[in-house]
C-alpha cells in the first residue's frame, strides 16, 4: 500500500483536484487497493468545507467525480505518508516548517515529476481552473508513472496477497 498526501493552502481547490485525479487514474488501472490517497491544506482556513464549486465543475468536465472535506495537515499525517506532494514553493516552505526540515526525502512539488518542473498554477485569484487542472493532471500522471516503476515489486506483492 502506497500512501500519497497532496497538499495545497486551503484544501478546497488544487489538492482535492489532485486527490480525485489520482483516485480516478488508479481506479482505471484496477490499482485502487494498492493506494491510500488523501489531501490536506497547510492552513485551517477552509477546515470542514467541501471542494470549491469551480474546481468541482472543472473535474466533472473531465469526467472526474468525487467529494472531499477540507482538513489541515498535521505532522502525524506527514509521518504516515510515503509521499507528500505539494503544489508550489509556498506549500513546500510551510510543510518543511511543520516538520522542522525533516522528511524532505518524501516531500516533492507535484510538477517536479514532469519534464517541465514548475509550480501548479494557482486558480484562486485568476479563476483559471482549467489551467490548474492541466498542471495537476500532468503532475499526477507523471507521478503515477514514476511510482508504478519505483514501487513495482511492492504493488505486485499487494496484488497477489
Ligand atoms: P487551494 O485554494 O489552496 O488550492 O485550496 C485556495 C483556497 C483558499 C484560499 C487560497 C487558495 N484563501 O486565500 O482563502
Q: What is the pLDDT of residues 89-142, one digit of tens each?
A: 999 999 999 999 999 999 999 999 999 999 999 999 999 999 999 999 999 999
Cα–Cα distance, 116 to 156 (Å, whole number): 30
The question of whether 160 is a catalytic residue gets the answer no
pLDDT at residue number 50: 98
The predicted-structure confidence for 43-67, as pLDDT tens digits, reads as follows 999 999 999 999 999 999 999 999 9
Q: Is 60 exposed, middle or buried (0-12, 13-18, 19+ CB in 10 A)?
A: exposed
Task: Locate the ligand 1 atom nearest the alpha carbon of residue 8 and give its number.
Answer: 3
The question of whether 44 is a catalytic residue gets the answer no
C-alpha cell at 120: 501548479
Residues belonging to the chain: 161
Among 85, 93, 151, 91, CA closest to 113: 85
The question of whether 97 is a catalytic residue gets the answer no
Residue 94 contacts residue 64 (beta carbons within 8 Å): no
List of E strands, the chain: 2-8, 35-41, 83-86, 107-109
Find the catalytic residue in 13, 111, 122, 135: 122
Question: CA 81, 86, 90 angle in degrees (round to 5)?
Answer: 130
Cα–Cα distance, 75 to 138 (Å, whole number): 28
Amino acid at each position: 500500500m502506497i500512501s500519497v498526501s497532496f497538499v495545497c493552502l486551503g484544501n478546497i481547490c488544487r489538492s482535492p483536484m489532485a486527490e480525485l485525479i489520482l483516485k480516478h487514474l488508479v481506479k482505471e488501472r484496477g490499482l485502487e487497493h494498492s493506494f491510500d490517497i488523501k489531501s490536506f491544506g497547510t492552513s485551517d482556513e477552509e477546515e470542514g468545507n467541501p471542494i470549491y464549486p469551480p474546481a468541482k465543475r472543472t473535474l466533472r468536465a473531465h469526467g472526474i467525480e468525487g467529494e472531499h472535506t477540507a482538513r489541515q495537515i498535521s505532522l502525524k499525517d506527514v509521518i504516515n505518508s510515503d509521499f507528500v506532494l505539494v503544489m508550489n514553493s509556498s506549500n513546500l516552505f510551510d510543510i518543511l516548517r511543520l516538520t522542522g526540515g525533516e522528511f524532505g526525502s518524501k516531500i516533492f512539488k507535484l510538477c517536479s515529476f514532469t519534464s517541465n518542473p514548475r509550480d501548479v498554477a494557482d486558480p484562486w485569484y485568476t479563476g483559471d481552473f482549467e489551467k490548474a487542472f492541466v498542471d495537476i493532471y500532468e503532475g499526477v500522471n507523471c507521478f503515477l508513472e514514476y511510482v508504478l516503476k519505483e514501487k513495482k515489486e511492492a504493488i505486485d506483492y499487494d496484488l497477489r496477497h
